[in-house]
Amino acid sequence: MSDKISVMIPEEEIDKRVREMAAQISKEFEGESVHLICILKGSVMFMADLAKRITIPVTMDFMKVSSYGDGTKSSGIVRISKDTDEGLEGKNVIVIEDIIDSGRTLAYLLEVLAQRGPKSLKLCTLLDKPSRRVKEVPVDYTGFVIEDKFVVGYGLDYAQKYRNLPFIGLVEELGE
Ligand code: IMP
Ligand code: MG
């Protein structure tokens, strides 16, 4: 049996919100450039769409940090398995995250990145589950605040599946 997934945030709504966020970033950093750091793998779709809508110069890098196993529960252990290729000195860094849950991943990551001398350091997340917060994190740009439900799609996975769904979906029922 396959898993049952329902649409929580449709494609059109994501697109509209991503455009708004890109406009806000473009306005705030007018006359400058931004350096986006995509947190792999979940933020790939979000960063690609966001970057296309930003109207000021953009550079990109990728990093892999995880506090999660393959399931739906946080392990509490954070590690960097892929670091950025370039330094952050003097750059307007915006960390692009798919979802902030306990906040453990980002709290750790922001601490590490702040030590690398960026001109500014911001956090941009597509989804936020504030009710689950264990560690405080300053979020600068939020796409959607959602309740404590496990979601998939638009980059987000359940055991590496469903990243390719064009919408944010709710896992209603797990198959065998
Ligand atoms: P945190 O350190 O607990 O904030 O974990 C954030 C990471 O957990 C995200 O980048 C996701 O990879 C994963 N995660 C948290 N909630 C969900 C969810 O509802 N669906 C899929 N992945 C999730
Ligand atoms: Mg994940």
Q: Could you report the per-residue pLDDT of 29-83, keeping only the tens digit for each?
A: 999 999 999 999 999 999 999 999 999 999 999 999 876 555 555 556 678 999 9
Average pLDDT of span 162-169 = 98
3-class DSSP assignment, residue 15: helix
Atom 5 in ligand 1: residue holding the nearest Cα: 101
Task: Find out whether 132 and 102 touch, Cβ atoms under 8 Å.
Answer: yes
- Structural contact between residues 167 and 151, judged by C-beta atoms closer than 8 angstroms: no
Sequence-distant (6+) residues with CB within 8 A of 159 are: 70, 71
Q: Residue 118 carries which side chain, given as an amino acid letter?
A: P
Give the start-to-end residue ranges of the domains of the chain.
11-149
Ligand 1 neighbourhood includes 102 CB (under 6 angstroms) = yes
pLDDT digits (tens, 9 = 90+) for 80-122: 999 999 999 999 999 999 999 999 889 989 999 999 999 999 9
- Ligand 1 site, residue 143, Cβ cutoff 6 A: no
Percent of the chain scoring above 70 in pLDDT: 93
What is the assigned CATH class of domain 11-149? alpha beta
- pTM assigned to the model: 0.93
What's the CA-to-centroid distance between 157 and ligand 2, angstroms? 5
Q: Which whole-number Å values give the CA distances from 110 to 45, 101, 118, in the listed order?
A: 21, 15, 11
| Nearest atom of ligand 1 to the alpha carbon of 129 | 16
**Structure-block tokens of residue 152:** 């998939």
